[in-house]
Structure 1
């Protein structure tokens, strides 16, 4: 990957991008949890580039991990723990003013599954292996097909409850926190050797949201640190993120519930 160096500034490492994403995410979640107390809407602006930053980091991480299967397994466990933990917490606390819908693990897992599909598709084409070609297509389509299946089941009162619970365990594209925006992950993975193209893809999606009148257009600001990514890993903090993400959301939720009810 390209290496940026301006004076003593040598660009951002993966660690730096994660820290930046965590800081912006924390501010955004303060807005989410304290809306009932009048948290200003401009706090939400800080969170608009966050998903894009984590998607880019996911592409980098998936490209360099020694075991892509273990990478996806960690995300799957994170997705389940987050979903069940949030459900239990809301049931116990009973604070309905804020709904815990957050689960970035589902977004990242869905993206990783599609990246894995791209790998298998590539292996099938280069090695002329029909089995890997089919597997690649199945993996790429799985998050999309399961989305429509779950929606169909939810439209039937007899299967609605099962479908709602099943959505917590299946990486379905339309049930992710960022919906179609998650498609940026496989797209950036295809363009992983061309940073300019990754930044262009982000910019085009940002323009789409701008035309729609959504503040999500502010995701374009993620282009700056991504363009300055130096290709280095930096400090190891994988386990920190897996713990920090659910814990900070749950703690902010409990603080908000306490303040609102006292």
Structure 2
């Protein structure tokens, strides 16, 4: 059974395939991150530019078709917290300062679900209690920005002391602030693609517009436009299940690459 109504007659790739493509490109991207100080060429990083867009797209699919949106959001939130604490602990234990482990796409995806949940509230207005759903929609949408206002003064505190370091660590671990997201305001692409979840060409146009803005600013993130190729080939099918694989693989491969890089440096 199709996951999305906007299937492509040229579609050859299912959701599983898209995630595998994203994972492969992600590993290449993180290889560059870990080994840039050893001379890994900058162009390797280009392969990672479409990754976030692919996972944003699959998160829209996942949120649209999950049996429980609350469970889906909770799973991402818990993963976000664990990932922050795990990256910090790994950095502290290994002490390989050439690489700063700030990776946490779970935060981006969780913030994206907040925006999508907000859109659901606005859509529910037509079923009654319009004021209630409108206010809830505004509040939910504002959460990442409210937490950003909370985090801004915390990010400026002196972190030379252990107590302050712990305050900042746990505040950032539990905070869905958009200022802490890997991809910043680019996350707003998620609710846009969610609004157009049944109109593939509009989703692709939104990606192209964001890519153009990055290109005009001189950022290599414009290479995200190549994500359109596999996304246009999406056939609306789920494919093989891998619900928990990414949750494990994502932190695991980062830590493994980090340990290898640190081991080479310390030899």
TM bucket normalised to smaller: over 0.9
Partner residue, 1:105: 106
Higher RCO, Cα 8 Å, sep 6+? 2
Give the counterpart of 1:181 among 176, 179, 186.
186
1: CA distance, partners of 2:73 / 2:171: 18
Matched, 1:200 2:200: no
**2: CA distance between counterparts of 1:5 and 1:196?**
13
| 3-state DSSP of counterpart to 2:265 | helix
1:83 maps onto 2:88 in alignment: no
1:163 Cα deviation (Å)? 4.5
- The residue number in structure 1 matching 2:96 is 95
Structure 1 CA distance for aligned equivalents of residues 126 and 263 of structure 2: 57
Partners of 1:134 and 1:125 in 2: CA distance: 14
Give per-residue Cα distances to partners, 1:17-64, cap 9 Å, x unaligned: 000000000000000001111111111000000000000000011000
Give the TM-score of the pair, scaled to structure 2. Answer: 0.92
8 A Cα contact 1:80 1:168, kept in partner? yes
In the alignment, which residue of structure 2 is the partner of 1:249?
254
Aligned to 2:7: 3
- Residues 115 and 186 of structure 1 are in contact (CA less than 8 Å); yes or no, is this contact kept in structure 2? yes
1:93-146 deviations in Å (ceiling 9; x for gaps): 111010100000000000001101111122134323422221111000111121
2:6/2:198 contact within 8 Å kept: no
Q: Distance in 2 between matches of 1:34 and 1:99?
A: 12
Deviates more, 1:214-223 or 1:146-155: 146-155
Cα distance in structure 2, aligned partners of 1:224 and 1:22: 16
Are residue 17 (structure 1) and residue 22 (structure 2) matched?
A: no
Q: CA deviation at 1:67?
A: 0.2
Is residue 2:240 matched to residue 1:232? no
- Give structure 2 stretches of 5+ with no counterpart: none
Determine if contact 1:125/1:133 at 8 Å carries over to the other structure.
Answer: no
When residues 236 and 175 of structure 1 are mapped into structure 2, their CA distance, relative to the original with a 3 A threshold, is same
Give me the whole-angstrom Cα distance separating, in 2, the residues matched to 1:251 and 1:153.
Answer: 31
- For the aligned residues, what is the CA RMSD? 1.7
